[in-house]
Structure 1
């Protein structure tokens, strides 16, 4: 399938920018600065990319007004305040849309299910009793929806997704392949050396405009529901345990794991492989750097880190030895040594002043 083709003026109108150069130039696609060709458009997201932009063969560039003045060798521009946002907006116009509609003959749909007229239900999909599928939603092959699952409008459920526990999904939700929504939470009561399973009775509620990557698990609540609010984006391989609440517009990169009954605020960012213990609260506007372990409440917005940064192995080993040696020194002894050092410094400063 051939990509759509737009004039530079049309693209500028889409992103609320203005054209400099020949607005009738035709653009057939997007590309990075390194690989763009004369029929393609690229974007310059800051001065650190100027050298690549100067060498780029792109037929047009999306830039700020300041950057445009530094790119004298190019002639076709779309000038905007935020080139990266403009690029994101244009990707939707060059994206290949899934246009099939209808229900494949191998799908199994319960008679009580309510299915909008303009959906697509792929091969070997199983839809249980009393499910609801909203308009313009695409459900790809081998998806299973257990009883009473609801999915809103304009959503995409990719192949081999399993949604259970009467989960309720809002509009414009994208769930990528092999993800499980509403699986049983990890709940067990220890007694006399054995683990006794706790039946999970809650559900999952997912808001609008949520994106969930491949191979994620979002567990149903034990009693109340697990909640993913509007605008949340989850990368691949993310685990959300039972009764977790994730606030609106929070983002989690790959391999993050959140233990049960933790509440995460709005507009948070978790970098890759962040771990969060259960039963804690994290306020709005918190950033957690990669591979950090969150073990207590975070009540003030800001950036938080844990662990040690990478270094050469020999240096890292020395650091670990020093940390162990430091841990073996009693705190009271360290305080006394610091006090003694401070007194010595003050004494030396006094003697130095007297000599002057």
Structure 2
């Protein structure tokens, strides 16, 4: 697949600097790109490579153009343009009507004629699958699940009973949607399981990473809004609600019944307590621990930054003395009154 620089610029609303007829056949990194390839500059730390890149073109902002020694597409947001151009070179393959002979499909399941079902996939009673869905091998789709149009389930995805998933959602290998939430009642030191009666409702244009788990609700549904992005290895507990277009990075855990607003950005290995709410447009930096509600948008952090080990030990020793120092300050304040 090939495009001229002019064609690519038109697709991303950019302006060509250099030869518009230059032919591009691939996207590559700024350090390793060669003839016929296009790269992008979205971080200041890579500016040093503009003078040496062998790419046929670079996607960049106007203020970086003077440093560029080759053709360019000038845009306001190089990362966005890169994503759009990459999609042109890597279009999703068209869905072909196909059900592998090893797949087990319940006779009462409703499948559109234009769906693809891979080997050893199990589809239970009452399932509804709309046109354009691609379901990989070894998937499990439980009773009464509803899948919208053009959904892509990679291999070994498990979707439990009564969940519904919106159009164009992508779920990567090993993800589990709708397993039981962590609900237990203690009686005389022993745990009694609380039946989990809800399901999971996922909006349109969502992407869920490998081995991420989204638990079903205890009574009402767990809700994932439109356009949400969940990275790999994330735990979303029962009855969590995640607002539209929020993105969460890997290894983060969200405890039960927490409500996260729209357009939030949550870093990796963040721990979010249960039964709290987080406002719209909140950013949580990596390894932040959230124990109470956040009522205003902004950037929040709680993890101590990296220091040399010897300094960390000194700081830790001082931290252990904080309570003692606080008491001494109170005593001094009383003496001065």
Q: Same fold (TM over 0.5)?
A: yes
* 1:326 corresponds to which of 322, 328, 335: 322
* Residue-by-residue CA offset, 1:151-206 (whole Å, 9 max, x unaligned): 11111101001000310000111100001000000000111111110000001000
* 2:23 corresponds to which of 16, 21, 26: 26
Unaligned residue ranges in structure 1 (runs of 5+)? 344-356
| Superposed displacement of residue 18, structure 1 | 2.3
1:264 is aligned to 2:260: yes
Rg (Cα) greater in structure? 1
1:81 is aligned to 2:76: yes
| In structure 2, distance between residues paired with 1:226 and 1:247 | 12
| In structure 1, distance between residues paired with 2:72 and 2:305 | 41
Unaligned residue ranges in structure 2 (runs of 5+)? none
Contact 2:127 / 2:143 at 8 angstroms: preserved in 1?
yes
RMSD: 1.7
| Superposed displacement of residue 21, structure 1 | 2.1
Contact 1:179 / 1:217 at 8 angstroms: preserved in 2?
yes
| Superposed displacement of residue 64, structure 1 | 2.1
| Superposed displacement of residue 61, structure 1 | 1.1
* Residue-by-residue CA offset, 1:57-108 (whole Å, 9 max, x unaligned): 000111222221332x22x221212111100111111116334511111111
Q: Which residue of 2 aligns with 1:180?
A: 176
Q: Which residue of 1 aligns with 2:34?
A: 37
TM-score (norm 2): 0.95
| In structure 2, distance between residues paired with 1:66 and 1:340 | 61
Q: Which residue of 1 aligns with 2:57?
A: 60
* Residue-by-residue CA offset, 1:103-150 (whole Å, 9 max, x unaligned): 111111111111122221111111111111121111000001011111
| In structure 1, distance between residues paired with 2:92 and 2:282 | 35
| In structure 2, distance between residues paired with 1:84 and 1:100 | 28
Superposition misfits of 4+ residues, deviation over 6 angstroms: 338-341
Alignment of 1:155-234 (within 5 A): 155-234=151-230
SS at match of 1:303: strand
Contact 1:34 / 1:56 at 8 angstroms: preserved in 2?
yes
Contact 2:121 / 2:138 at 8 angstroms: preserved in 1?
yes
1:301 is aligned to 2:297: yes
| Superposed displacement of residue 332, structure 1 | 4.6
TM-score (norm 1): 0.90
SS at match of 1:85: helix
